[in-house]
Amino acid sequence: MTPHGKRAVVTGASSGLGLEFARLLAADGYHVALVARSVDALETLAGELREKFGITADVIGQDLGAHDAAARIVAAVPECDVLINNAGFASNGAFATVDAQRVDEEVAVDVVSLTQLTRAYLPGMLARGSGRILNVASTASFLPGPFMAVYYAAKAYVRSFSEALWEETRGSGVSVTCLCPGATATGFVKRARMEKSMLMNLPLADAASVASAGYRGMMHGKRMVIPGIMNRIVAWSPTLAPRRLVLWISRKLVE
């Protein structure tokens, strides 16, 4: 597809799902702004996308944990037609022992930057009567996560926030979709130091297909996308099971 002048912002575009979202957007003719800290990886991706699809690809090297992260991104890209809030990471361990600074960063990246970017770009989308936002949560958003307490809670926030905005924006030409992936083969496991957890030793989904499911759902204005039948079972079964059992299973999967 040839470029059509529409613009997209993707956070966490340097690896995993974010990189795949950037490829999907560029293939559909979007000019993309790629956000993450790993500037070299972003430059490589930007070069690939420019050459293959003839679009503009801007690199924004930004730590989303910084207090002014969203403001800096919006200063660089004042308006966008598609926002994909994908960046996120998890800390792992008993909450009382997890590094306090890492907890702050986790909340800043997974919750605060996503909220601020949505607040910054949504009014323009509504004024134009068109726009798409995709917020990446997780199947972790459906239950509490002992030993990953902040991450599971952050993803519950993302899902609740996104569903509320889907309803608020219904009929406006703008949609807010929540993607809830299960365990997926990306850099996430290593970052979260979860190589030994039972959860991440189950068969992992492939990043390109998870991103594609989320992307299609976003473009169709869906409220939520949970890729894969097993993940849909994981997502909805905690609503039926006794809470103490849910907590015990959740603990065993992460430990």
Ligand X SMILES: NC(=O)c1ccc[n+]([C@@H]2O[C@H](COP(=O)([O-])OP(=O)(O)OC[C@H]3O[C@@H](n4cnc5c(N)ncnc54)[C@H](OP(=O)(O)O)[C@@H]3O)[C@@H](O)[C@H]2O)c1
* Contacting residues toward ligand X, per CB under 6 A: 12-18, 36-38, 63-65, 86-89, 109, 136, 138, 181, 183-184, 186-188, 191
Taking the least distance from each CB to ligand X, the nearer of 14 and 175 is 14
**CB of residue 18 to ligand X, shortest distance in Å:** 5
**CB of residue 33 to ligand X, shortest distance in Å:** 13
Taking the least distance from each CB to ligand X, the nearer of 58 and 126 is 58
Taking the least distance from each CB to ligand X, the nearer of 16 and 131 is 16
Spatial separation of the C-alpha atoms in residues 248 and 92, rounded to whole Å: 17
Taking the least distance from each CB to ligand X, the nearer of 31 and 159 is 159
Describe the chain by its helix, strand, coil percentages, rounded to 5. 50, 15, 35
**CB of residue 108 to ligand X, shortest distance in Å:** 7
**CB of residue 2 to ligand X, shortest distance in Å:** 28
**Which of 151, 152, 157, 215 does the annotation list as catalytic?**
151
Spatial separation of the C-alpha atoms in residues 55 and 149, rounded to whole Å: 40
Among the residues of 6-131, which ranges form H helices?
A: 16-27, 39-53, 69-76, 100-107, 114-128
How many other CB atoms are there within 10 angstroms of residue 239's CB atom? 9
Is the Cβ–Cβ distance between 133 and 178 less than 8 Å? no
CA dihedral angle for residue 119, residue 214, residue 240, residue 107, rounded to 10 degrees: -40
Name the residue with the smallest CB distance to ligand X.
Answer: 16
Spatial separation of the C-alpha atoms in residues 149 and 167, rounded to whole Å: 27
Catalytic residue list contains 151: yes
Q: Which residues are catalytic?
A: 151
